[in-house]
Structure formats: structure tokens, C-alpha cells
Structure 1
Amino acid sequence: MKSRRTVAVASVLAVLFSILFLPVPAQSAPTGLRVSGTRIVEANGSAFVMRGASHAHVWYQGETGSFADIKALGANTVRVVLGSGQRWGPSTDVANVVSLCKQSRLICVLEAHDTTGYGEEGAAATLDQAVTYWISQKSALVGQEDYVVLNIGNEPFGNNAQVSATWASATSNAIQRLRTNGFNHLIMADAPMWGQDWGGIMRDNAATVFANDPDRNTVFSIHMYGVYDTAAEINAYFDAFRTAGLPLVVGEFGHNHSDGDPDEDTIMAQAQSRGLGYIGWSWSGNGGGVEYLDMVTAFDPSRLTSWGERIFNGANGIRATSREATIYGGGGDPDEQAPTTPGTPTASSVTATSATLNWGASTDDIGVTGYDVYRATGASGGTFTLVSTAGTNTYTASALTPETTYRFYVRARDAAGNVSGNSATATLTTQAGPVGGDCRVAYQTTNWGGSSGFTANVTITNTGTSAINGWTLAFAFPGGQRVTPPGWGATYTQAAGSANVTATNVDYNATLAPGGSTSIGFNGTYSGSNPAVTAFTLNGSACAAA
């Protein structure tokens, strides 16, 4: 039975505050499963990528056969729902649960479910109460670090922004209390806002929480449901953790939900491409209107639902991508063989703002999981930076500058995180773009009554004689306004503390024919007044105001 999720439709005022943490003890040496950069590795250094399902054990304690059934369908991980005693349980059979995981050769992610939606769900437990529960079960857990991950508390905050803003301090304190009490396990920290972090609280504070773990052994868990219904939103979240150099897993996701239609295909493909773990919700026993999230009917592994078929047997699914932990004698990449070097990229479909790259595929003993694409500006010199993690040996670069030379190279990665040598460099020059004055922008806003939120509708028109193939609209807010993602019709970027905003085309409106236009928009917040934006550029050229 999955707890509800509510996606807030009102805008949330940014909460600015400083968090003071207790001094962090000296770092100890983690044993068993641990973090290495952005990866999870086992004690022997082999990469471990979670592929599994959640099992609602606290509500179905008699379904002990589910552990073996989940394993039989290819999983290497099971996330086990336990109760800490505030709402369910307490689950006192933890030693037996760990034994069932080990008998089925599964890595055991144990989570305390009572924390779900704290601050919005009145009966929810605090993270501190969850830690008290884990301490009560210490004898069943210490010594199991090779097999057990401690997921402190499920979705520990709801959509109350002011409460969710305490996620960083509450999570840091919980981790430090576990460490002080002798837990050296890999710890998993769930995001706030019913796990979906639509306000970016975990994304923006994960580095601080990680630094406050004395063992530096925390992996962050995002739950992807209706908030993540586009590839752009999924990739942006994954990109943020990759850029920060922090470990991330998709701790829950589904193929459908009451708050929207998650893009499970992108979640699974990108997780596979990037070497990220994922755990689907859930094996069986869902109620409350989300029965469609059952992977099997009535705990019967022979009765896979459409969701079960998708996650176990579909593209980038569990059966095709899961590797058993080496602690059980499973796969990994013990010889650490790197993939072969990709072929030299070749460019095609070069426009003023985009180009498509293709290169010869790499090979590897355990299979290539993806390619890192690097780009620099200029025919010589310049610094290469990572711009994409492509799942296959093709990549379309967008938001390029007209009449500019770029250089690209790629490298391959495998499931163990080994990387190939760099390909030879490809150089291309983009075509001429629209000249100044070849665009017009209309900007209209509607303020929400009694609120500090607004909706902006923007219309971009190509007033030139040539088509615009790929575009980025740029502007600066004059009154300190903030865009509330995700918006529509474009991918929006606004750095923290900055007035500057960019809006980049999505697939369906990338081309603007002469005289053609597209309508985009977003929700935002403001304080005091909400002055209109009057100056815009499109691909670097100034536009007339409508």
C-alpha cells in the first residue's frame, strides 16, 4: 500500500536560512557496501548497481516467499518496508528479514516507513524516532554491512515547504546519531516532498549532508512519480548529482501515479546509461487506488502485471541489467577491464544552434552502459567540459551559438564505472543564425490573488526570412522574481541568487519557420512587486518587444 503523494499547485516561497551542525567526528573506515565517488561499491571495490523492487513486508509478514520470487525474476536488491512503531509495527523480525535477503542472494535495503510525509501527515514519525528504532534493532544489523543498506526513513517530509526545509539538518543529525551508535552501514537518505524533491531541497543540500556524515557513506534516494513526467526533468535531476559528484539512486518509481504519468522509459534508460541504481514500487499488495503499481497479482510471481512485465522484462529492465553482488559470488567486473576507445565522432545535420554526432561503438566484457560526451569551444585551445551522458553512440548537441567552432570527444563507460580512452576529436562550425531584430517576444503575467505567485505566458515569433533551428531565449528578471520549475514549452534554467533566466526549446518547437511562433510559459514567485520583463535575446540576438 503506497502512501499518497500530492504535487503542490501553489507556488512556494523560498526559505532562506542557515543550518548549524554539530562538529563532525573524524571519518572512520566504512566496511561492506560503501560510496566511492558517485558509485556504490562492495568491500572488494566491485561496483554494485541496485536493480530491485520494494516489498511491503510490514503489512504482509506472511509473504516470506516474495524474497526468493523477486530474486528469481532477476533482481539483485529488495527494499523492505518496516515499521518503527509510530504508525506500523514495530518490526522486530529484522534478523529474519536479513536472513531471508541473504538466503535469496539479495542486497537488503531496509526502510522505516512511519516517517512518510512528516509535516503534512499528522501521524508521521520524525527521522529522530526512526533512528531510535534502528538503534533498538542494532544487534540484528551490526556485522551485516556487506548485505544491508539502512534507508533511514521513507519520504521523511511532505509538501510543507517550511518543514521540508529542515530536511538537511534532520537528515544530518540522524546520520550522525547512527554513526555515534556504531552503525557503519551504507546509509540511504530519502528526499523530502513525498520523496519527489520538486522544490530541489535535497538536490541543493545533499553536499552538506554528505559532508556531515563522519563515514562519508551516504547515498541519496529520489522517488520519481508524476513530477518526473518528461525526459528533461529526469535528466536535469540526474545531471545535478553527477555535476556535484554525489551518489544517487532512484529509490522508488512507477509507470503511473495519481499525480501524473512518470516517464519510466527515460528513468530506466538513463539509470542504465549512467550506472545509477533503481528500485521499483512495488512487488504486490498495493491499495488505496494505486493497485496498478503491483508488479505481480496477489503475490503470485507467475501473474506479472503490465508494470511487472515492463520493469522485469522490458528494455533496460531488471532481468537484462541486474548483476548479482559479488559477496554472493555474482558478476561485477573483477578484472576491471575498460571498454575499447570509441570511434571518432562525425557531425551531421549541423544548423546554427544544433548538430548530431555519431561515433563507432565501443565493446566491453560486461557491456558498455553509456558514453560521456565532452565539448570545447574553438578550433584549438579551450577547456573540454562534460555536456551529456549518452545512452547510445549518438548525441544531438543543442543550444549552440551560430557561427561558432566546437570540438567534441567521447569516452565509453561500463557497469563497473571503468572508462575507455578518449576518442579522436571532431570539430564542427555552426551555421549563421538570425540577425538582430529577427524575433519578437510578447510577455504577459497574471498574478495570483492574495499570493506572491504569478503565471507568465511568453510568445516567441520569428520575424526573419530564415527558419530558426533550435533556440534559447534569455532574459533577466528586474524584480528578483524566481521561476518555479518545470514550466511548459521549454526547459528553464535559473541559478540560485541570479536574476538571469534561459529557456531552451523542447523537441516539438525547436524549429520556428519565418513568421512562425511558439508559446511557452512558467509559474513564478515574487516579493513586493512583479515588474514585467522587457528585454529578451534569442540565440544571443536582441528581440523586439511585442
Structure 2
Amino acid sequence: PMLEFHGVTGSNSRSELERAVNYWTRSDIRAMVNQYKQYIILNIANEWGGSTLSDADWKNEYKESLTTLRNYSEYRDLLIVIDSNEWAQDPAPVKTYGQEILNHDAARRSAHGGPNAANVAFGIHMYGRWDSSNPSKFHVSNELATFKNTCNFPIIVGEFGYNHNNGNNNLGCTVSHTEVMSACQTRGYGYMAWSTDGNDSANSWLDMMDNWSTWTWWGLQVRDNANGIIATSVKCSLFGGGSSPITIYADALASDWANWSWNSTVDLNNSSPVKNGTKSIKVTANAGWSALSLRKGTAQSTAGKTKITFWVHGGTGSNKSIKVYASTADSGGDTTGKIITATANTWTAITVNLSEIGNPASIKRLHFQNNSSTSQPAVYFDDIKLE
């Protein structure tokens, strides 16, 4: 989680930023941070800096804030987020002064016996000043590309909204949320959509949940989009997560994977239905016990991985029974299988734990077999991953 001080939003006052820093340096707050510091990120002050604060003043005040916080042992190794100027919506001050701030932080950490390396990320929020279709506003993909390719700064899109009511909303927000998520995924930047629940009435269109229990339209967009939380999130290693997922299929077969199916008609470029992205795999079983079989040129190690995940759509008619298993060789070395159900007319997320199919050390072929003695209508697969 990211802790943040929310009481100085839009302020240009140095004393208000100092008030936020003084909060973090309270003994009771430092004790809490010390207890949970391996899990948390600290945002010094949400959106400090309004439309009249100069970029130079923004930079200078945050350098002072870093100096103060790094004086305390609880904050010397913590990742600290600094929101950009103008309610965090202006990328210019980060481009101009980001490196100076990073150099300053590295020097402060080194002065306290730590590494001569910064541990700061910059927060950018995307609302009314962002819209790639409007030349008078910031272009999402282009700006993130600049950060990645020119500045190479650590960036978090710490808040963003969507084009609610065609821009007729209290924030004048017309930004494309799908572009935000896609551009972040492409550039390797994290994002946090605003917000789970609890907004006031004017901002209630940004609630992702209703009464902390039911997903809203906005929440489902963030959760289920092709570049949304389900498709892209990786469990943190602190909570038992491992390395990044290995993609086997996402709009196309990944490199070194090939179609070795039997008694099946397979379309790897199917355009409908699709769960994520623009393509899925369509498989028509031409005989009983036929299968979609995907073969890796060099066997895929499963080291650090625990499961195979994918989406399946049962097509028309009745539900279909499918056996999922792997082979450790081109011929033979078959694992045990797990029977799953492809529910008709809907996409279903499937997880096959490696422990359920014998914990193979490597996968040479991955099979999705028609668990029936007769031919079957088309079934569809999408976003196949080893995680």
C-alpha cells in the first residue's frame, strides 16, 4: 500500500508541505512506519502544488522534505513518492528537475551510510489536463514514452479517471483510461486508478465499488480491461509472489511456441469472441479426445512458477469438459490432468495449479483436450500464462 498525507492538496504554501513532513516525523507515525516499512510506499503529500507554484519552488521544497525525512532511520530505505506540480498533472517539472531531485536523494542516503542511490518515484495524475485526442492537453502515450526513453525516471500514474459523461464532470476529465493502462503496461509503469470507494457526491463517478462490495462500471473497467488488474498484476514477493508471469498466448503465440494440435481445427487469430486484446484461439474438436496442443521449442522451465492461468469460453450449445495437462517431451512424459468446464456463452477465468498436474519441472507441450469421445463445437481460449 501507498501511505499519503491528503490534507495539503493543491496548496502552494511551504508551511503546508512542512506540516505534512511534520506528520510523518511524529514518533507514533514513525513507529508505525518502522513496523510495516517492508510493505509500504510513502507519498509525502498528495498533489501539493497548485497552479501558481513555480516548478523551481516545487523542486526546492521537495528537496528539503527529502533531507528531513532521510534524517530518520525509518525513512532512509523507504521508497518515497513525490507528486508533480499543478495537482500532480503537469509532467514538465519532473522532466526539468527530476534528475536533480534524484541526485539529492542519493546524496542524502549516502550521507547516512546508505547506498549512493535514490529511492524516489514521481507521481503523475491524469484527469482534466490529459487527453491524447486534444492537442491543447498532455498526450498520454507520448509523455510516458518521453519519461521512459529520454528521462528514464521511475514514474507512477498514481491517479487517473476516465471520460465520464463526455467530459461534463467536475474535473473536466476526458482522458482515455484504456490508453492510460495500455501505455503504462507498454512502458513498464505502475498505475493506481482513483479510487476504490468513499468519494463525495461530486466525485462518486470515480468509485470503483459501491458500498465496498459491488463492482461499478468503472471498477470493472480497471479490473477486467486487457491491461487491467487481473491481466497484468503480479503478486509481490513479500506475499509469496515470484517472478513475472510467462505469457504463452496473448493475441498471438509467444516466441518459440507452436501449434501441435491433433484432430482439431485451430485458429490462433480469431477475432470474436475475445476476452482481452484483439485476438483469441478458436478450437473446433473434429473428433473425440482431440486437443489444442501448444509446443515449446526449448522446454519451458517451471522454476519459480506455481500455476497455469487462462480464460476459456464454451462457445454455443452446452458446456464442454476439457482436460488440461502437460508433457515434458514431444512424445511421452505426460502429466496427470485437471478437468475444467468451458461454460457456454461466457468467459471463465481458470487456474490450474502445477501441483494438480504433478508439478512438472518443465513443460514441452501444453494440452487442452476435448474430454469427450465425440466431436464438439468451437471453444475459445485467451491469455494463457505460466505464473
Contact 2:43 2:82 in 1 (8 A): yes
Instruction: Name 1:241's counterpart in structure 2.
Output: 147
Q: How does 1:139-178 map to 2 (within 5 A)?
A: 139-162=31-54, 164-178=55-69
> Does 1:227 find its partner at 2:129?
yes
Contact 1:117 1:194 in 2 (8 A): yes
What is the CA–CA distance in structure 2 between the aligned matches of 1:170 and 1:227, rounded to whole Å?
Answer: 24
Highest relative contact order (Cα 8 Å, sep 6+), 1 or 2?
Answer: 1
CA-CA distance at 1:152 after TM superposition: 0.5
CA-CA distance at 1:109 after TM superposition: 0.5
CA-CA distance at 1:129 after TM superposition: 1.5
1:286 pairs with one of 199, 205, 229: 199
Instruction: Name 1:189's counterpart in structure 2.
Output: 82
What is the CA–CA distance in structure 2 between the aligned matches of 1:260 and 1:253, rounded to whole Å?
Answer: 9
CA-CA distance at 1:203 after TM superposition: 2.5
CA-CA distance at 1:239 after TM superposition: 2.1
What is the CA–CA distance in structure 1 between the aligned matches of 2:35 and 2:64, rounded to whole Å?
Answer: 23
Q: Could you list the runs of 5+ residues in structure 2 that have no partner in the other structure?
A: 110-117, 164-168, 258-276, 279-387
CA-CA distance at 1:290 after TM superposition: 1.6
Instruction: Name 1:276's counterpart in structure 2.
Output: 189
Instruction: Name 1:131's counterpart in structure 2.
Output: 21
What is the CA–CA distance in structure 1 between the aligned matches of 2:46 and 2:256, rounded to whole Å?
Answer: 37
What is the CA–CA distance in structure 1 between the aligned matches of 2:15 and 2:172, rounded to whole Å?
Answer: 24
Contact 2:83 2:122 in 1 (8 A): yes
Contact 2:145 2:187 in 1 (8 A): no
What is the CA–CA distance in structure 1 between the aligned matches of 2:19 and 2:47, rounded to whole Å?
Answer: 14
> Does 1:315 find its partner at 2:206?
no
Contact 2:3 2:43 in 1 (8 A): yes
- Which amino acid in the other structure matches residue 142 of structure 2? A
- Which amino acid in the other structure matches residue 180 of structure 2? I
> Does 1:329 find its partner at 2:240?
yes
CA distance 1:168–1:221, change in 2 (3 Å): same
What is the CA–CA distance in structure 2 between the aligned matches of 1:250 and 1:363, rounded to whole Å?
Answer: 30
Contact 2:47 2:84 in 1 (8 A): yes
Contact 1:113 1:154 in 2 (8 A): yes
Contact 1:150 1:188 in 2 (8 A): yes
- Which amino acid in the other structure matches residue 239 of structure 1? A
2:174 pairs with one of 240, 261, 281: 261
CA-CA distance at 1:174 after TM superposition: 0.7
Which SS does the other structure have where 2:38 is aligned? Answer: coil
Contact 1:221 1:249 in 2 (8 A): yes
What's the CA shift string for 1:259-304, capped at 9, x where partnerless? 231111110001111211000101111115121001011222xx21
Which SS does the other structure have where 1:110 is aligned? Answer: strand
CA-CA distance at 1:361 after TM superposition: 6.7
Given the two structures, how large is their TM-score scaled by the length of structure 2?
0.55
Contact 1:167 1:202 in 2 (8 A): no
Which SS does the other structure have where 2:41 is aligned? Answer: strand
CA-CA distance at 1:161 after TM superposition: 4.0
Following TM superposition, the consecutive aligned residue runs of length 4 or more in structure 1 with deviations greater than 3 angstroms are 360-365
Q: How does 1:44-443 map to 2 (within 5 A)?
A: 108-119=1-12, 126-136=16-26, 137-162=29-54, 164-182=55-73, 183=75, 184-197=77-90, 200-213=92-105, 214-215=108-109, 216-230=118-132, 233-242=139-148, 243-256=150-163, 258-300=171-213, 303-333=214-244, 362-363=254-255
Contact 1:114 1:125 in 2 (8 A): no
What is the CA–CA distance in structure 2 between the aligned matches of 1:149 and 1:246, rounded to whole Å?
Answer: 17
What is the CA–CA distance in structure 2 between the aligned matches of 1:260 and 1:132, rounded to whole Å?
Answer: 33
CA distance 1:325–1:125, change in 2 (3 Å): farther
What is the CA–CA distance in structure 1 between the aligned matches of 2:10 and 2:160, rounded to whole Å?
Answer: 17
CA-CA distance at 1:160 after TM superposition: 0.9
CA distance 1:364–1:203, change in 2 (3 Å): farther
Contact 1:115 1:156 in 2 (8 A): yes
Which SS does the other structure have where 2:36 is aligned? Answer: coil
CA-CA distance at 1:195 after TM superposition: 1.2
What is the CA–CA distance in structure 2 between the aligned matches of 1:305 and 1:192, rounded to whole Å?
Answer: 30
What is the CA–CA distance in structure 1 between the aligned matches of 2:196 and 2:15, rounded to whole Å?
Answer: 24
Which SS does the other structure have where 2:191 is aligned? Answer: strand
CA distance 1:286–1:125, change in 2 (3 Å): farther
Q: How does 1:17-56 map to 2 (within 5 A)?
A: none
CA-CA distance at 1:236 after TM superposition: 2.5
What's the CA shift string for 1:342-378, capped at 9, x where partnerless? xxxxxxxxxxxxxxxxxx974499xxxxxxxxxxxxx
- Which amino acid in the other structure matches residue 278 of structure 1? Y
What is the CA–CA distance in structure 1 between the aligned matches of 2:48 and 2:157, rounded to whole Å?
Answer: 16
What is the CA–CA distance in structure 2 between the aligned matches of 1:130 and 1:293, rounded to whole Å?
Answer: 25
CA distance 1:364–1:109, change in 2 (3 Å): farther
Identity %: 32
Contact 1:116 1:125 in 2 (8 A): no
What is the CA–CA distance in structure 1 between the aligned matches of 2:53 and 2:69, rounded to whole Å?
Answer: 26
CA-CA distance at 1:331 after TM superposition: 3.3
Deviates more, 1:280-289 or 1:110-119: 280-289
Q: Could you list the runs of 5+ residues in structure 1 that have no partner in the other structure?
A: 1-107, 341-359, 366-390, 393-546
CA-CA distance at 1:127 after TM superposition: 2.1
CA distance 1:364–1:220, change in 2 (3 Å): farther
Given the two structures, how large is their TM-score scaled by the length of structure 1?
0.40
What's the CA shift string for 1:477-525, capped at 9, x where partnerless? xxxxxxxxxxxxxxxxxxxxxxxxxxxxxxxxxxxxxxxxxxxxxxxxx
CA distance 1:143–1:191, change in 2 (3 Å): same
Which SS does the other structure have where 1:249 is aligned? Answer: strand
Which SS does the other structure have where 1:142 is aligned? Answer: helix
- Which amino acid in the other structure matches residue 140 of structure 2? I
